[in-house]
């Protein structure tokens, strides 16, 4: 029978379903004591994607770019050094003390073992990125895969020439696009697919040369959803000086305001069966999960691709059988862990890679097995001690809980949790999260003002220190950026790239679900549009009837 519980942190009542109970029995873990949102918050507080810092490799003394600021007390190696064979994580191994809590001992180990600066695999000139693989020439971006020439972007797969975008796949030369697939030369657009040479478009599929359009299919030379001749279309577009910052911002503001009056589809779920959530593609048996592709038997997961049997997991790529984890790839049977790659049978560990197996409470191990707190054991010793530690953790109340917040190597306002579950400094500290104060060196006086019109921008702007009009935080324009802006007649941004990222994030719905009724046919729907929002929300059938 379903169980009603009260979240230990938020006080919110939540339901543990029969299926959830089966999952917990399968993984031999107790029922959750936190609601789904608080479980996501706790995990994602361990992941920093876009806050990068200058630091020194603690092994070689060489300068590196790291996800840890210099005030963090950790030992950090360069990627080359960390992945190299000049050191061994088991040299930091220690005995387990049954007189003390597990989390306390794990935290002490984290302060000693070398950590990688960020996760960048098989990539060239991508030092200023995190969680990137098989990519080239990417800068201040995160979650890159087979991507090239990417800047200030979150999640770009098989794409080239992308700036200031969020979640693009197989796209080329796009700017300020959110959730777009197979698009070419699109700007200020969202939820578009197979669309080319278009501006300010929303939910356009198979279109070309469109401006200010929503919900159209296989159209060309459309201006605010009206068909034009090629000459008429170009004449209408030419009346806008899109290279002027104020003009572009005004169009963007009006376009997004007008979107509110158009019906919205309750959820974007494509080629999927028995699934609830949003942005789900080619999947089966998904419950309350978001941003998924090619997955099966998934519950309460975010950002997961090519995976099966995942429960309470975030940011997974090619994995199977995991519970309460964040950031794993090509891994199997993982519980309560962070950053596990190419390994199996891992519990309560971080930064485990290269065919590790049967590790418990370990950090920064490669090619190891039967280790606890980084100490090597025989197979028989390992399983006996592991079972004893689990019983100890049951008595301390730690077993079944994700890591304590103070173990996170990042501050709350640096982490993904800070983006999706904002807290004030006081609120974060009261929950035992850390907090990072702004660094004074990031708020120097600007050496130049950004011209409104791209035609007035000198090449020397790349040598200047600029200040965000929103916060005063410094940023720069690179030569590659400037060439892109001038090529497409796009005005220079006037805010810091993290502020631009936050604005794009606001364009997406929250990763939460509400039960509602279609506002046309009254069918029951599960949607990420809260009932008090102003949009009209339709089921998929009714929404498709509104597209042109």
What string of DSSP letters covers 245-271?
HHHHHHHHHHHHHHHTTS-EES--EES
Q: Mean per-residue pLDDT for 249-264?
A: 91
Position 174 scores a pLDDT of 98
Q: Mean per-residue pLDDT for 470-485?
A: 97
Q: φ and ψ at 543, to 5 degrees? A: -65, -45
Both tokens of 168, joined, read 């693009």
pLDDT > 70: percent of the chain? 100
Position 258 scores a pLDDT of 87
Q: How far apart are CA 548 and CA 536, in angstroms?
A: 18
Alpha-carbon Rg for the chain, nearest whole angstrom, is 24
For 76, which DSSP code?
B
- In sequence order, the β-bridge partners of residue 64 are 55
| pLDDT, tens digit, 9 for 90 and up, residues 344-398 | 999 999 999 999 999 999 999 999 999 999 999 999 999 999 999 999 999 999 9
CA distances from 154 to 176, 345, 522 (A): 11, 30, 36
CA distances from 364 to 43, 109, 351 (A): 18, 10, 5
The region that residue 126 occupies, defined by phi over 0 for left and psi between -120 and 50 for alpha, beta otherwise, is alpha
**Domain range annotation of the chain:** 3-34, 149-265, 273-335
208-214, long-range: CB < 8 A, 24+ apart: 209/233, 211/236, 211/237, 212/251, 212/255, 214/259, 214/262
Q: Mean per-residue pLDDT for 86-102?
A: 97
Distance of alpha carbon 485 from its chain centroid, rounded? 26
Sign of the CA dihedral 476, 479, 483, 486?
positive
Position 74 scores a pLDDT of 97
Q: Mean per-residue pLDDT for 314-319?
A: 95
Q: Is the pLDDT of residue 409 over 90?
A: yes
Q: How far apart are CA 285 and CA 312, in angstroms?
A: 14
Residue by residue, DSSP assigns 19-64 as HHHHHHHHHT-PPPSS-HHHHHHHHHTT---S--EEEE-TTT--EE
Q: Is the pLDDT of residue 59 over 90?
A: yes
Q: Could you tell me if 513 and 492 are in contact, meaning their C-beta atoms sit under 8 angstroms apart?
A: no
Q: φ and ψ at 312, to 5 degrees? A: 55, 55
Position 8 scores a pLDDT of 92
Q: φ and ψ at 111, to 5 degrees? A: -85, -5
Q: Could you tell me if 240 and 489 are in contact, meaning their C-beta atoms sit under 8 angstroms apart?
A: no
Rounded to two decimals, the pTM is: 0.95
Q: Is the pLDDT of residue 106 over 90?
A: yes
Position 352 scores a pLDDT of 98
CA distances from 365 to 87, 341, 354, 508 (A): 10, 11, 8, 37
Q: Mean per-residue pLDDT for 455-482?
A: 97
Position 75 scores a pLDDT of 97
Res. 261 pLDDT band, cuts 50 70 90: confident
Task: Give the largest CA-CA distance in the chain.
Answer: 80
Q: Is the pLDDT of residue 1 over 90?
A: no
Position 382 scores a pLDDT of 98
| pLDDT, tens digit, 9 for 90 and up, residues 121-134 | 889 999 999 999 99
Q: What per-residue string of b and e applies to 149-182 under the rule 16 or more CB within 10 Å gives b?
A: bbbbbbbbbbbbbbbbbbbbbbbbbbbbbbbbbb
Q: Mean per-residue pLDDT for 155-172?
A: 97
Torsion of CA 454, 187, 154, 344, to 10 degrees: -150
Q: What is the 3-state secondary structure (H, E, C) of 146-204?
A: CCEEEECCEEEECCEEEECCEEEECCEEEEEEEEEECCEEEEEEECCECCEEEECCECC
Both tokens of 284, joined, read 């089966």
Q: What is the mean pLDDT of the chain?
A: 96
Res. 548 pLDDT band, cuts 50 70 90: confident
């Amino acid at each position: 029978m379903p169980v009603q519980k009260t979240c230990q942190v938020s006080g919110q009542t939540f339901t543990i379903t029969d299926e959830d109970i089966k999952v917990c029995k399968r993984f031999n873990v107790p029922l959750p004591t936190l609601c789904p949102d608080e479980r996501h918050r706790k995990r994602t507080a361990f992941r920093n994607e876009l806050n990068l810092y200058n630091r020194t490799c603690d092994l070689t003394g060489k300068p590196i770019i790291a996800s840890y600021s210099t005030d963090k007390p950790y030992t950090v190696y360069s990627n080359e050094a960390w992945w190299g064979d000049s050191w061994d994580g088991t040299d930091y191994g220690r005995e387990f003390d049954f007189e003390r809590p597990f989390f306390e001992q794990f935290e002490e180990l984290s302060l000693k073992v070398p950590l990688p600066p960020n996760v960048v695999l098989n990539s060239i000139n991508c030092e200023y990125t995190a969680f990137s693989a098989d990519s080239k020439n990417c800068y201040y971006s995160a979650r890159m895969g087979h991507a090239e020439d990417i800047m200030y972007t979150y999640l770009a797969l098989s794409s080239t020439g992308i700036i200031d975008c969020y979640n693009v796949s197989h796209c080329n030369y796009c700017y300020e696009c959110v959730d777009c697939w197979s698009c070419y030369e699109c700007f200020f657009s969202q939820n578009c697919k197979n669309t080319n040479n278009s501006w300010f478009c929303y939910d356009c599929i198979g279109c070309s040369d469109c401006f200010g359009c929503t919900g159209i299919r296989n159209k060309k030379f459309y201006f605010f959803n009206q068909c034009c001749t090629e000459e008429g279309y170009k004449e209408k577009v030419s009346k806008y000086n899109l290279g002027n910052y104020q003009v572009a911002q005004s169009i963007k503001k009006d376009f997004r305001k007008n979107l509110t009056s158009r019906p919205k589809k309750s959820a974007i779920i494509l080629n999927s069966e028995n699934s609830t959530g949003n942005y789900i593609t080619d999947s089966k048996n998904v419950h309350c999960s978001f941003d998924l592709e090619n997955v099966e038997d998934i519950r309460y997961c975010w950002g997961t691709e090519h995976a099966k049997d995942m429960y309470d997991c975030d940011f997974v790529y090619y994995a199977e059988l995991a519970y309460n984890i964040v950031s794993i790839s090509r891994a199997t049977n993982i519980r309560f862990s962070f950053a596990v790659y190419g390994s199996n049978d891992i519990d309560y560990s971080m930064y485990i890679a290269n065919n590790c197996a049967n590790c418990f409470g370990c950090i920064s191990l490669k090619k190891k097995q039967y280790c606890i707190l980084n100490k090597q054991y025989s197979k028989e010793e390992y399983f006996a001690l592991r079972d004893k530690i689990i019983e100890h953790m049951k008595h301390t109340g730690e077993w079944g809980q994700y890591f304590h917040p103070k173990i996170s190597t990042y501050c709350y306002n640096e982490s993904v949790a800070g983006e999706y579950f904002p807290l004030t400094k006081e609120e974060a500290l009261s929950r035992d999260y850390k907090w990072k104060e702004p660094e004074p060196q990031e708020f120097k006086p600007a050496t130049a003002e950004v011209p409104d019109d791209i035609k007035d921008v000198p090449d020397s702007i790349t040598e200047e220190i600029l200040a965000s009009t929103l916060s005063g935080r410094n940023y720069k324009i690179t030569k590659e950026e400037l060439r892109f802006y001038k090529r497409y007649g796009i005005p220079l941004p006037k805010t810091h790239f993290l502020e631009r990222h936050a604005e794009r994030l606001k364009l997406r719905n929250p990763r939460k679900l509400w039960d509602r009724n279609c506002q046309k046919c009254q069918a029951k729907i599960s949607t990420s549009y809260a009932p008090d929002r102003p949009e009209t929300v339709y089921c998929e059938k009714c929404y498709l009837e509104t597209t042109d």
